[in-house]
Amino acid sequence: SHEEIEELRAVFDLAFASEHGFKCVVGPDNFDRVLPVLNRSQIVAGTLGGEIYLAKDEEGKIIGGIIWYGPGREQYDSEDQRKQALAPLMASLPDDVKAWFAGSVALMEEFKRKTFGDMTKTEWYLQRVGVHPDWQGKGVGTALIERGRQNTNGHAIALQAVEPANIGYYEHIGFKNKGHIDVQAPHGDFTVTGLLWQP
């Protein structure tokens, strides 16, 4: 529902309030304005082409969520995702960032193919997982990932991470570091690491 999309978006806004990679892309002056648009975009795309699992507290309030794409699917891979999710995001971006995105898509797709090989067609992809700061470190994110693992029917799970603490966390719960790429963005540089979990 629209209400759940906005409730999860608000949780993601808090969970990713210091996201280094996206800040390097859009710049510190645009970050607070564009982060909610990015989060809404990813959630809407997930409702259209992926799966979203929610974690709620005892009162039914959303405290975390995860966006998955099954084998053969990707974020923004369909016309409805591009129209309803990607277009509003692109409209919110400054021109230099739009140009950077246009030039970086092929580079990031090549990194994904190089990192995960043929598995890009067969694995599940964890697009985004976020937990309200008040609930972080209490097993909520791990429970969301575990729920996804149970639904993969023996398929691998791939993801990309930027924050070093997140990379260490994913390695701790069984993901293997498959390589990284250094990215030069309009407002700074960051490193993207590819991680893979295999049953």
pLDDT tens for each residue of 76-108? 999 999 999 999 999 999 999 999 998 898 888
Global pTM reads 0.93
Mean pLDDT computed over 131-151: 94
CA 180 to the chain's CA centroid = 16
In this structure, which amino acid lies at residue 23? Answer: K
Q: Look at residue 113 in the predicted model and tell me its pLDDT.
A: 87
Average pLDDT, the chain: 93
Cα dihedral sign for 73, 179, 66, 31? negative
Cα dihedral sign for 32, 37, 189, 96? negative
Q: Which pLDDT band holds residue 199 (cuts at 50, 70, 90)? A: confident
Percent of all residues in the chain with a pLDDT value above 90, rounded to a whole number: 81
Q: Look at residue 67 in the predicted model and tell me its pLDDT.
A: 97
Backbone angles phi, psi at 186, to 5 degrees: -60, -25
